[in-house]
A and B are shown apart, each in its own frame.
Chain A
Amino acid sequence: MTEYLITNALNLFIRLVLPILIGLGVGGVIAIAAQLLLQAEDRAVSFLFRYCGGLLGIYLSVVSSSSILSEYAKRLWSGLDLYRP
């Protein structure tokens, strides 16, 4: 049961953190493309695109993430079977 709970928690963590990481990744790719196009080696450009990508990822996933997390918490906190050995 303990292994199941921990695996479930890690799966949920990966599922929820993935949109943010994808956003950061996309932001990073756009930043590299922009730097190549503009021939600008400024770190601020890279930071700005990555930051915007991450925030966009959080913004787009916040509704589904919060509902998934709240369902998960409800299932755990009210699950009598989970408390029994």
Chain B
Amino acid sequence: MTYTEHLRFWFEQLGLPAGEMAILFVTALIFSPLPRFIIVFSAIRLGFNGFPGKFVSISLALALSLVQLEPVLSPILVKTAEMNKGNVISVEQRQSLLKFSEIQWVNFIEDRTNPKFKDSIDKLPQTAGDSAAKPGVSVGRLAVPFLLSELDQAFRMALVIILPLLVIELIVGTSISALDLKIETELVSFPLKLALFMSTSGWALITDTLLKLR
């Protein structure tokens, strides 16, 4: 089964209208590594004065998120494929599939959440809906700590990525003002930054590190 067939199956089985399905899809993307990747690639764009375009960086971020989500999506897709054999699934089967998906997602989110941010949420009183996936843990409860840890990690990465580019910008700016030249700093620093990025295989290094990092 392809991704599209799986998605169509989910759409049919959940029986939700397209608008609600879109909201569900976007919500699922927020609780994925996508925000982190978007911030990191935005930092790269900032370092290169808006190059490459937003569309390219968001596409790359989406592709990398799907790669990193594979351990979560694969078991769900396998289970979906098994259930799809009969073509019609019962309400119980649908509920078990949703529960299974939620557990997979909660495990993924919990694994990536920094305990520093989780502690503050753990102190809040438990509600009836919290035991849906695991006792004491739910996607809703983990949402804020997860997003905060993703943002924290993304900002850390952005700083590390932008530093060499900042050094180039500073050197070029100092040299141009010391030589008293009347040219734009960006005009000189941009090719130098590109040369550095190409000589170090920047894309390979950064994407490799992003994928290795949990």
Q: Which residues from B are CB-within-8-Å of A47?
A: 180
Compute the total of residue contacts between A and B using a CB distance below 8 Å: 89
A74 touches B174 (CB 8 A): no
Residues of A within 8 A of B174 (CB): 17, 20-21
Residue of chain B at shortest CB distance from A20: B175
* Cβ of B196 under 8 Å from chain A: yes
Name the prevailing secondary structure of the A interface residues.
helix
Residue pair B160, A80 in contact (C-beta under 8 Å): no
A74 and B171 CA atoms in complex are apart in Å by 19
B14 to chain A, nearest CB (A): 37
Main secondary structure of the interface of B (DSSP, over half): helix
Whole-angstrom distance from the CB of A38 to the nearest CB of chain B?
A: 22
Report the nearest B residue to A6, measured CB to CB.
B163
- Name A32-83 residues within 8 Å CB distance of B: 47, 50-51, 54-55, 58, 66, 69-70, 72-74, 76-80, 82-83
Which residues of B102-129 are within 8 A (CB) of A?
A: 114, 116
Q: Identify which of residues 162-214 in chain B touch chain A, using a CB-to-CB cut-off of 8 Å.
A: 163-164, 166-168, 170-171, 174-175, 178-180, 195-196, 199-200, 202, 205-206, 208-209, 212-213
Number of A residues, CB within 8 Å of B? 33
The interface stretch among B19-27, B53-61, B151-159 is: B151-159
The reply to whether the CB of A16 lies closer than 8 angstroms to some CB of chain B is yes
Does the CB pair A5–B160 fall under 8 Å?
yes
Residues of B within 8 A of A2 (CB): 159
